[in-house]
A and B are shown apart, each in its own frame.
Chain A
């Protein structure tokens, strides 16, 4: 069974920069896995942030960026705001199947 792994939790100071990663049990993540990133706040449905590695939606704040880093998909937040405190999920494509990572709880402190 394919497993997608994210950091369980990260803490960042307001105004700081943090990188969340997304690894695949099958090996290096490439653009062919079409990495997606979602933000979820308590009691809300997930909201799409990034698709196909680095593409932003029209509503995605400029401080969010996606990339590939050391064989993983990465989401970088630059100039973190208090409202960025949330759970972040990555999603990878494995042919017809899609697999979510376990999520990273980002604390802004």
Chain B
């Protein structure tokens, strides 16, 4: 089975840096995704990691350690529009390569 954990809520200040952690215990692993979801909207893709290390994409970076079952999403130079839920999701290595989502972290950016 899949077990994916994230903090429920976080608050950070505009212009600051925030790190959202995700830990997982899964029966198979073939990549980890991070998605952003604003209220009432579908998730939008942020990043994908399948190898250990840091992937940087503009203000967003994502890190993966497969041996530790751990990932984080780093958001720099926070903007008010970054207030959203951030979903960690793991793809398994089965035939259909299902993507299972964590509980999501609701981030509030304050002035």
Same complex = no
Instruction: Give A residues with C-beta under 8 Å from B.
Output: none
